[in-house]
């Protein structure tokens, strides 16, 4: 069987495809040539025996290993991680290209089932490591420098030690995961990918319908918003069941583990202190009036409306050109911006365009949104977009390529240390957006174009900071309310609306049906409490960019060293070379002041 994903080709099925130029598709052959490729079978067979051999060689014996033997153990564990990750990356990426294809869904599910079964014998490793005394592990690290490089991994394991269950329960949770959260995640994804929306005699998928909320035609925006509401309402029982089940499942596991709050697990995974997240959240909520409330009042005046409706939130400005940015232009805009910062950054990004590492077009059944998936350290990342030629799509390209550059640089750390916590994972992506925005702003031909660019950037930052913190507050309320029992769809709707007015401000009124818009946000399903990482990343990048603008001559070198560190360092250590500290409450005010300053510029242009 040959690979059914060709090298980059024109995708005529994409909305506006003839105007966008040649849109690339993934070439997954760097992972595997096909689902029945002999290399995939070889790796799956190797994985089964490698996991069994690992358990036979090390279970119950970790406390007897010297530093050299312990290093060998870690390297074998890491190699298993690489092979399992390679298989699941291939299966997952194929699935996200066409989530409605039952064969792709089956292949992904079968891979998940087999790998979960094969890796169950490895569950002992973390449990046994956490039974080793601290001084025992510290002595091993002191005896071997190569082993000591892995210490951050074990520090994170030890942070989870107070919440560790018995060996039997941990193995049970591992085994049943494929019919627990993973299954509900898949149900959500397949449901979303299969939704159809009828807008002005055109049948569209979710991504294309959401895109209409940025259309110049207000009637079309309203029609899209109302169709979204009607379709979500038709499935609201299913979406409520997904959220009720996942929230309860998490609560049960958290209770067994003794997690003090629903957010604790996410904070531990992000290697960030709860008080730092709380300081971020409070700073943003306190800033709502000077950020979103103030900006949307400006936008209300620009649009000539008494009140903004939800379909006006991301509407283009009246003075904005009805322009479509073709793919080649978008590529040049982003690579030029990257190159101005550092030619090396552009060199790292260029292969994504030339080697089939981007899937850009909108296609039936394709997963909505955009992401950069790192795959494994001996391959390369892949970027998914749903590119439709909007100026915001150019910023999304800059964002996801930033992730790709970060993941490429961090790969040198090896599989166990390459992955960054979510709070730092947004650093390069948001920085890439900022570079592209500043490049476009500098090239603006007049004040009208500058105003449009400034407003677009402010909206993006509000979506990244204000909206995500509102999402975080919604999740906190959702998980707290679920502790009191099953939530009806109306209960969840009320929780959603309780944060919307507060965050968006008095310029808005909300149509009937908007209360269901929580239903399509994938982060609530896939990664509880993920969303604050966006605000963390934006605030961090705003502070970083201020340091860059101040003219630090070594900034580029420090920046690349930070990205190369991957997940090997804590945020305090990574930010120290720039003179920054995220645990300082003033740090967040500095980042928010950048957004406020852009709004100041917009207000000044009104005079």
More confident residue, 421 or 107: 107
| Domain topology for 23-179 | Butyryl-CoA Dehydrogenase, subunit A; domain 3 (1.20.140)
| For residue 10, pLDDT beyond 60 | no
> Could you count the other beta carbons within 10 Å of the beta carbon of residue 309?
17
- Domain boundaries defined on the chain: 23-179
Q: Which residues contact 92 (CB under 8 A, 6 or more apart)?
A: 108, 373
Task: Give tens-digit pLDDT for 178-218.
Answer: 788 888 998 998 899 899 999 998 999 898 899 899 888 99
Considering only 2-6, 311-315, 348-352, which range has the smallest mean pLDDT? 2-6
Which has the closest alpha carbon to 362: 97, 58, 49? 97
pLDDT surpasses 50 at 11: no
> Bridge partners of 198?
203
Q: What is the pLDDT at residue 606? A: 80
Give the number of other CB atoms < 10 A from CB of residue 158: 16
pLDDT score for 106: 95
Q: What is the mean pLDDT of residues 508-519?
A: 96
Please give the residue that has the higher pLDDT: either 172 or 350. 350
Q: Structure tokens of 245? A: 């089940």
pLDDT for 317: 86
Beta strands in 470-510 (DSSP E): none
Residue 13 in this model has a pLDDT that exceeds 60: no
User: By percentage, how much of the chain surpasses pLDDT 90?
Assistant: 74
Q: For the segment 380-390, what is each residue's pLDDT rounded down to a tens digit?
A: 999 999 999 98
Quick one: average pLDDT of 542-570?
91
Give the predicted TM-score (pTM) of the model. 0.81
Instruction: Express as a percent the part of the chain with pLDDT over 70.
Output: 97
Mean model confidence pLDDT for the chain: 91
- As a whole number, mean pLDDT of residues 254-261 equals 95
Does the pLDDT at position 118 exceed 70? yes
Least confident of 147-151, 407-411, 572-576: 572-576
User: 197, 211 in Cβ contact below 8 A?
Assistant: no
Distance CA 552, CA 562 (A): 15
**For residue 336, pLDDT beyond 60:** yes
Q: Give 5's pLDDT tier (boundaries 50, 70, 90).
A: very low
């Amino acid at each position: 069987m040959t690979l059914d994903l060709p090298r980059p080709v024109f995708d005529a099925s994409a909305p506006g495809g003839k105007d966008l130029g040649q849109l690339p598709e993934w070439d997954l052959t760097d992972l595997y040539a096909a689902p029945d490729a002999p290399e995939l079978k070889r790796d799956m067979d190797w994985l089964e025996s490698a996991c069994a051999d690992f358990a036979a060689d090390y279970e119950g014996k970790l406390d007897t290993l010297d530093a050299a033997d312990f290093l060998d153990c870690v390297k074998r564990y890491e190699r298993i991680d690489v092979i399992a990750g390679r298989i699941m990356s291939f299966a997952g990426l194929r699935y996200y290209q066409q989530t409605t294809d039952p064969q792709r869904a089956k292949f992904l599910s079968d891979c998940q089932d087999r790998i979960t079964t094969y890796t169950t014998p490895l569950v002992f490793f973390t449990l046994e490591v956490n039974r080793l005394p601290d001084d025992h592990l510290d002595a091993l690290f002191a005896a071997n420098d190569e082993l000591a490089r892995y210490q951050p991994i074990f520090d994170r394991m030890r942070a989870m030690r107070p919440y560790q269950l018995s060996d039997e329960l941990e193995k049970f949770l591992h085994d049943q995961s494929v019919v627990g959260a993973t299954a509900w995640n898949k149900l959500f994804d397949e449901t979303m990918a299969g939704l159809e929306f009828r807008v002005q005699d055109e049948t569209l998928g979710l991504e294309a319908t959401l895109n209409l909320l940025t259309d110049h035609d207000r009637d079309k925006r309203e029609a899209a918003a109302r169709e979204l509401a009607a379709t979500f309402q038709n499935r609201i029982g299913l979406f409520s069941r997904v959220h009720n089940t996942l929230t309860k499942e998490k609560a049960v596991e958290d209770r067994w583990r003794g997690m003090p709050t629903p957010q604790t697990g996410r904070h531990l995974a992000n290697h960030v202190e709860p008080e730092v997240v709380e300081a971020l959240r409070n700073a943003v909520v306190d800033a709502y009036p000077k950020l979103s409330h103030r900006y949307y009042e400006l936008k209300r005046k620009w649009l000539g409306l008494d009140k903004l409706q939800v379909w006006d939130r991301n509407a283009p400005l009246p003075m904005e050109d009805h322009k479509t940015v073709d793919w080649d232009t978008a590529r040049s805009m982003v690579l030029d911006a990257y190159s101005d910062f550092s030619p090396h950054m552009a060199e790292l990004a260029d292969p994504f365009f030339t080697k089939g590492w981007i899937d850009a077009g909108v296609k039936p059944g394709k997963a909505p949104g955009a992401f950069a998936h790192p795959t494994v350290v001996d391959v390369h990342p892949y970027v998914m977009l749903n590119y439709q030629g909007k100026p915001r799509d150019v910023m999304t390209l800059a964002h996801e390529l930033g992730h790709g550059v970060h993941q490429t640089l961090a790969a040198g750390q090896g599989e166990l240390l390459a992955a960054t916590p979510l709070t730092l994972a947004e650093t390069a992506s948001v920085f890439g957006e900022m570079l592209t925005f500043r490049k476009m702003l500098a090239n603006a031909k007049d004040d009208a174009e500058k105003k449009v660019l400034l407003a677009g950037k402010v909206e993006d930052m509000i979506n990244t900071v204000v909206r995500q913190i509102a999402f975080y507050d919604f999740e906190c309320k959702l998980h707290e309310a679920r502790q009191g029992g099953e939530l009806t769809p109306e209960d969840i709707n009320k929780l959603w609306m309780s944060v919307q007015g507060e965050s968006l401000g008095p310029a808005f009124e909300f149509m009937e049906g908007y209360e269901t818009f929580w239903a399509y946000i994938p982060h609530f399903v896939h990664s509880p409490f993920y969303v604050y990482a966006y605000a963390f990343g934006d605030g961090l990048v705003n502070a970083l960019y201020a340091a860059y603008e101040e003219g630090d001559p070594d900034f580029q070198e420090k920046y690349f060293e930070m990205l190369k560190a991957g997940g090997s360092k804590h945020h305090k250590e990574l930010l120290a070379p720039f003179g920054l500290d995220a645990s300082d409450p003033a740090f967040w005010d500095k980042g928010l002041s950048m957004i406020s300053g852009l709004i100041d510029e917009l207000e000044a242009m009104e005079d």
